[in-house]
């Protein structure tokens, strides 16, 4: 493992890997907050596990697990205000669901259905997760530019991985945040791997946070397995951004406990011992221990939570599996605001072709496909 997961000077942390408080919690963090965070992290972990299981049984396409990243997503989600805008990447299930994206929609997207991006409510102006690495960071800078020029006192949160920081467009976006003093908070989920490429092969800098120096914005490192630390760093950065004091780059140091996606086999390129070592820093377990030792989490509460979460996840899965399919021509209907003559003609061809194929199938004739 290249970046140490321990808390250390210069890396913000409140609850350490063993669930021990290392400093006084911020004022706004009370027991209810901690319990709510814990509940969300457990819920997301269950959803994640279920999504992987669905993929393994052929009911889901390639899925990027967020195992081990729950504290980052949860901390960000809880720090954001409703009118802030989220520009996520594909490991932000925990953030998105706090902003009202449903678990069913998360499953829908990775099950290969565009309707999973039909966010409503708080998330109505959020972006769908970005697949081309790093490209979303300039969208976020653009959203921040729009907020600034319209005098809206809100901010954008944009997330990406450690590997993404090697892309020119990530630097370009951060540079703009510095030069235009944009209300943007960039959170790098440094899970130490970009598929098989370790963080040590991405950059010569000691930390990713110090890249902030190059663009003239605030930068800090936080323990990405400590939900309080992530929350606190993002909250403060958002407050600064909303009050016109400019952007921040937050490096949340964590570890990708899962394969890169369900299409990946991480045993090919990293040692099992590294992964089991990283499990010692599990963001969910430490919060459970912390709450338990405070006297605010009992085995009964745990049982109740697990039952409740199972029911929620199962309901999302049932809804996902029972979806009415999209209309066959939906993939043509949203290319432009209005369908063009060319597309209208192509739609006719598509519908005729489907008719032909269903006749061929219904008639039992051998379909040569």
Ligand X SMILES: Cc1ncc(C[n+]2csc(CCOP(=O)(O)OP(=O)(O)O)c2C)c(N)n1
Instruction: Kindly list the catalytic residues.
Output: 256, 260, 269
**Contact between 91 and ligand X per CB under 6 A:** yes
**Contact between 75 and ligand X per CB under 6 A:** no
Name residues contacting another protein, limited to 182-211 (CB under 8 A): 194-197, 201-203
**Distance of alpha carbon 3 from alpha carbon 109, whole angstroms:** 32
Short-list 10, 6, 15, 9, CA closest to 231: 15
Short-list 122, 154, 152, 138, CA closest to 240: 154
**Distance of alpha carbon 201 from alpha carbon 60, whole angstroms:** 32
Piece of 2-10, 66-74, 129-137, 190-198 that binds Mg ion (CB under 5 A): 190-198
**Distance of alpha carbon 269 from alpha carbon 249, whole angstroms:** 29
Short-list 236, 248, 181, 206, CA closest to 8: 206
Residue 91's binding partner among Mg ion, another protein, ligand X, none (Cβ under 5 to 8 angstroms by kind) is ligand X
Name residues contacting Mg ion, limited to 107-126 (CB under 5 A): none
Residue 124 or 328: which CB sits closer to another protein? Answer: 328
x-or-dash string of contact with Mg ion, 88-107, rule CB under 5 A: --------------------
Instruction: Point out the residue whose Cβ comes nearest to ligand X.
Output: 161
Residue 163 or 219: which CB sits closer to another protein? Answer: 163
**Distance of alpha carbon 216 from alpha carbon 211, whole angstroms:** 9
Smallest separation, CB 167 to ligand X (Å): 7
CB 247, CB 180: distance < 8 Å: no
- The helix (H) or strand (E) run that includes residue 344 is helix 341-362
**Contact between 211 and ligand X per CB under 6 A:** no
Short-list 123, 77, 11, CA closest to 238: 77
**Contact between 97 and ligand X per CB under 6 A:** no
Residue 161 or 247: which CB sits closer to Mg ion? Answer: 161
How distant, in Å, are the alpha carbons of 171, 212, 272 from that of 12? Answer: 23, 16, 28
x-or-dash string of contact with ligand X, 154-193, rule CB under 6 A: ------xxxxx------------------------x-x-x
Residue 203's binding partner among another protein, Mg ion, ligand X, none (Cβ under 5 to 8 angstroms by kind) is another protein
Q: Which residue in the set 335, 348, 355, 358 belongs to the binding site for another protein (CB under 8 A)?
A: 335
x-or-dash string of contact with Mg ion, 147-166, rule CB under 5 A: --------------xx----
Burial 271-286 (b: 16+ CB within 10 A, else e): eeeebeebeebbbbbb
């Amino acid at each position: 493992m290249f970046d140490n997961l321990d808390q250390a000077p210069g890396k913000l942390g409140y609850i350490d890997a063993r669930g021990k408080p290392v400093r006084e919690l911020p004022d706004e963090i009370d027991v209810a907050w901690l319990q709510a965070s814990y509940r969300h992290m457990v819920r997301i972990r269950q959803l994640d596990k279920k999504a992987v299981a669905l993929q393994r049984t052929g009911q889901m396409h390639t899925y990027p697990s967020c195992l081990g990243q729950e504290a980052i997503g949860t901390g960000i989600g809880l720090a954001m205000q409703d009118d802030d805008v989220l520009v996520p990447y594909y490991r932000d299930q925990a953030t998105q669901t706090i902003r009202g994206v449903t678990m069913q929609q998360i499953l829908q997207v990775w099950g290969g259905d565009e309707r999973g991006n039909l966010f409503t409510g708080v998330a109505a102006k959020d972006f769908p997760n970005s697949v081309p690495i790093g490209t979303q960071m300039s969208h976020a800078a653009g959203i921040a530019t729009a907020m600034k020029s319209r005098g809206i006192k809100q901010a954008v949160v944009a997330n990406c991985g450690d590997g993404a920081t090697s892309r020119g467009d990530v630097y370009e976006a951060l540079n703009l945040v510095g030069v235009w003093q944009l209300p943007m908070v960039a959170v790098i989920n440094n899970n130490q791997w970009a598929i098989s490429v370790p963080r040590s092969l991405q950059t010569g800098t000691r930390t990713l946070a110090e890249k902030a120096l190059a663009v003239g914005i605030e930068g800090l490192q936080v323990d990405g397995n400590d939900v309080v630390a992530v929350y606190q760093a993002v909250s403060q950065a958002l407050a600064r951004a909303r009050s016109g004091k400019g952007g921040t780059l937050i490096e949340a140091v964590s570890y990708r406990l899962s394969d890169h996606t369900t299409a990946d086999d991480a045993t090919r390129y990293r040692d099992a011992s590294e992964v089991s070592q990283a499990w010692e820093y599990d963001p969910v377990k430490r919060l459970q221990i912390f709450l338990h030792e405070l006297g605010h989490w009992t085995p009964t509460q745990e049982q109740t939570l697990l039952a409740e979460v199972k029911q929620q996840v199962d309901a999302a899965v049932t809804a996902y599996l029972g979806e009415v399919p999209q209309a066959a021509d939906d993939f043509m209907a949203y290319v432009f605001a209005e369908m063009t003559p060319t597309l209208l003609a192509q739609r006719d061809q598509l519908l005729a072709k489907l008719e032909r194929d269903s006749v061929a199938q219904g008639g039992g004739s051998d379909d040569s496909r």
